[in-house]
Structure 1
Amino acid sequence: MIDGHKVACWTPFGRERTVSLLVKYMERDVKRGLIDEYILYMNTDDNQVSDREYGYRLAEQHDWIRIIERPERYPGPKQRSTGYFYRSAVDPDTIFVRLDDDIVYLHENAIENLVRARIEMPAPAAVFPIIFNNAICSYFLQACQKVPMEWGEVKPYCMDPNGWASGPFAVKLHELLLSHIEAGTVEDLYLHHDFQLAPGTQFSVSCFASLGSMYAGLPDGPGVLVPDEEESWHTIHRPLATSVPNVVRADSVVSHFSFFTQHPFLNQTDLLDRYRALADKAVA
């Protein structure tokens, strides 16, 4: 718990390859008393037998891990199913922290600082950390002179050609963050201040904190998102409906490994191996 609030982290689960890193940080922060439970929302394809077995094996090994299966029927591609998770996120005393299954690093202060920001600011739909390899976060990092413009300027658009689509740019970002992690200077990458996102600004929801009380009080039913696509609801619909901007917190750092546009470049590097070594140290 943090300041009397239960903290539940959750992941739309799909890949053992990267969740095997993320779960180390969950274990670290459970042991530190920051996280109460970790929920794996199963969102796999039929042929992902070994991935599913891995997820269920984790739940058997750790009493703080819980499995939720997606609905048998949902509209469109599997990415649309994640909006149904929020029907299970209606405890008004719980803060939920969403983590993509390829979040591969969380700074030791990331969860605590993000959750405390969420408590301090109850009005936004979502409070985001500084997500390395997120286009709009890269825009803010460049504005604060943390990421060089010489790598390619990033505009405040979630699918910016450099910040979202460029593999070489993502490699440079990861190398920058890893150099700071290895040197123990991640806090040098904190932003100068929190940044507000104008209502209606689409933002990649790789990681954010939200309130169970918000979902419990939705007009169409507890946890029922309308529209049901979670990124649109949290970053476009809800902020426009409430006229409240979402916020990027200045002092919480996580790393998102890859957008599909970047896979061919990142998979040819040793970056994931370097992140894996750091994750192993987190629970050593």
Structure 2
Amino acid sequence: MAPVILVTFAGRQKRMEILTEYVRRAMDLGIIDEWHLWDFTRSPEDHDWVTREFGPVRYMGSKAPYQLKGTVTPFSSFRTDAAISNDLHIAVLPNDDPAHYFEIVVGGWNNKHSVVRKLPRSDLESFERADTTPIWSRSTPGALSPGVPNEVVLNLDAEGVPALSVNGVAIGRWPELDWRSEASVMVRGGWGADLEFSDVTARTRRYVGNPNETLPYWQAYDYYAKRLRDFSNAVFLKCDDDIVYLDVEKLDDFIEFRRTNPHYFVISANVVNNGVCAYLQQAAGSIPDAVGHFEHPPGGFGGSLWQSAERADRLHDFFLQADDKHLPLPTAVVEWRERQSINFIAWLGKDLVHMALPKGDDEHALTVDLPTFLGRPTAIYSDFTVSHLSFGPQERGLDVDRLIHAYDALMRDRLHHKDEPAYPRLERMAASGR
């Protein structure tokens, strides 16, 4: 059976922890096979949380900073399979020298040369090395292969002397160094070279995009499109990091509908706090007029709900207070030919052939540009409901903390955590003012 892969652009801890509980339940039930967390965080605190919470790193953009990968000791080598064409950077942080680290660059300078540098740990976050003289340098033409994952082995002898080999070839041995105290090992790419670890096969894994991009999401679509052969049989789900309710019992039906209706390009869940869905929900009589008027957003984008904290608040409260957590649409499936928000969508892996998206508006590309070009509509599936916390314009005036606490209680009830105490994270959030 084709694997089901959930992709989430992470991640704001305060908004994402509820989603994490739902997804882990769906994975425990075998509904979702893999969860790919793309780290597009904007704060150091959120980045640290995503790094701690979501398993090993699988992929790093060429501008992504060092990520912890493992350790090396006299009794255990550091080993990995690294797919990279040039400039593999390995940072070794000896336990007995907290002020410095050693940087091994393999296949630098267009895969011609390798060096070792001793640097202050403050340089771990920087790519600048112009004024640094290497402590070792060697010509290593063709040390890295672009065609296969490179077998990297770093070991220490009994005296702590390090030696590195790549693809069975000795890169260097450094008898002047003593790392017998053991050391952490970090890795990154650089200089146009992305880095992927084919030995990372955990069901939940991290993908670290290039930081500080205004619209970074194209990096994820580009990654999958370039690996079409690996993912062509998969069913992809993509959800926002602030999905705060997910009907786990109906998720498998949604996936099966996606799998068996290939003529739709993307299919959306029935989303609470989504302009198009709210319009359709009210048209079907699922949202009373007393909650507010939810018009057809012009062209499927924007509209009064998207802009209004008050409207979002009333809609969330109506949903939270309803016994039946379902707001049916006019029909079981609504075919749609305008833009729509992509808070929770699904596509087929075979359609990655069309999804090498340029940098820009991924939502417009997936719901307008590509469906128009391919002559394939999108759709909204009525019987699978999720709730989306907020759009950017709604942030001005929305009581996010109140809603998060309410949805947390709903999640604990739905996942049978209702007899457990409230999560310690809520107490931490209150204490820290987050």
Tell me if both proteins adopt one fold, taking TM over 0.5 as the criterion: yes
Change (3 A) 1:71 1:107: same
Q: What secondary structure, in the 3-state scheme, does the structure 1 residue paired with 2:235 have?
A: strand
Name the structure 2 match of 1:263.
395
- Choose 1 or 2 for highest CA Rg: 2
Q: Does 1:71 align with 2:210?
A: yes
Q: Is the 8 A contact 2:16 2:241 kept in 1?
A: yes
Q: Distance in 2 between the 1:36 and 1:224 partners? A: 24
Q: What secondary structure, in the 3-state scheme, does the structure 2 residue paired with 1:248 have?
A: strand
Counterpart amino acid of residue 154 in structure 1: E
Return the offset for 1:82: 0.6
Q: Does 1:85 align with 2:227?
A: no
Q: Distance in 1 between the 2:309 and 2:248 partners? A: 27
Q: Distance in 2 between the 1:209 and 1:153 partners? A: 25
Matched pairs, number: 264
Gaps of 5+ in 2: 57-200, 418-434
Change (3 A) 1:22 1:153: closer
**Equivalent runs, 1:160-239 vs 2, <5 Å:** 160-180=302-322, 183=323, 185-187=324-326, 189-193=327-331, 194-198=333-337, 201-215=338-352, 217-218=353-354, 223-226=355-358, 228-239=360-371
Change (3 A) 1:20 1:73: closer
Name the structure 2 match of 1:31.
28
Structure having the higher strand fraction is: 2
> Per-residue displacement from partner, 1:36-59 (whole Å, max 9, x unpaired)?
1111101122xx111111111112
Q: What secondary structure, in the 3-state scheme, does the structure 1 residue paired with 2:396 have?
A: helix
Name the structure 2 match of 1:147.
287
Change (3 A) 1:59 1:138: same
Name the structure 2 match of 1:52.
47
Return the offset for 1:165: 0.9
Q: What secondary structure, in the 3-state scheme, does the structure 2 residue paired with 1:208 have?
A: strand
Q: Indicate the percent of aligned positions where both proteins have the same amino acid.
A: 24
Q: Does 1:274 align with 2:409?
A: no
Counterpart amino acid of residue 122 in structure 1: P
Return the offset for 1:168: 1.3
Return the offset for 1:269: 6.2
Higher relative contact order (CA 8 A, sep 6+): 1
Q: Distance in 2 between the 1:173 and 1:143 partners? A: 15
Change (3 A) 1:264 1:213: same
Return the offset for 1:124: 2.0
> Per-residue displacement from partner, 1:189-247 (whole Å, max 9, x unpaired)?
2224111111xx121111100111100x23xxxx4125753112101111110121100
Q: Is the 8 A contact 2:297 2:303 kept in 1?
A: no
Name the structure 2 match of 1:6.
3
Normalising by structure 2, we get a TM-score of 0.57
Change (3 A) 1:166 1:6: same
Q: Is the 8 A contact 2:280 2:330 kept in 1?
A: no
Return the offset for 1:14: 2.6
Q: Does 1:243 align with 2:243?
A: no
Q: 2:246 aligns with which of 93, 97, 106?
A: 106
Q: Distance in 1 between the 2:35 and 2:401 partners? A: 29
Q: What secondary structure, in the 3-state scheme, does the structure 1 residue paired with 2:14 have?
A: helix
Q: Is the 8 A contact 1:24 1:283 kept in 2?
A: no
Gaps of 5+ in 1: none
Q: Is the 8 A contact 1:22 1:104 kept in 2?
A: yes
Change (3 A) 1:244 1:227: farther
Q: Distance in 1 between the 2:273 and 2:350 partners? A: 30
Q: Is the 8 A contact 2:10 2:39 kept in 1?
A: yes
Change (3 A) 1:152 1:33: same
Normalising by structure 1, we get a TM-score of 0.86
Return the offset for 1:257: 0.3
Name the structure 2 match of 1:123.
263
Name the structure 2 match of 1:135.
275
Q: Distance in 2 between the 1:264 and 1:228 partners? A: 25
Q: What secondary structure, in the 3-state scheme, does the structure 2 residue paired with 1:60 have?
A: coil
Q: Distance in 2 between the 1:252 and 1:243 partners? A: 25
Q: CA RMSD in A?
A: 2.2
Return the offset for 1:123: 2.0
Structure having the higher helix fraction is: 1
Q: Is the 8 A contact 1:27 1:283 kept in 2?
A: no
Q: What secondary structure, in the 3-state scheme, does the structure 2 residue paired with 1:164 have?
A: helix
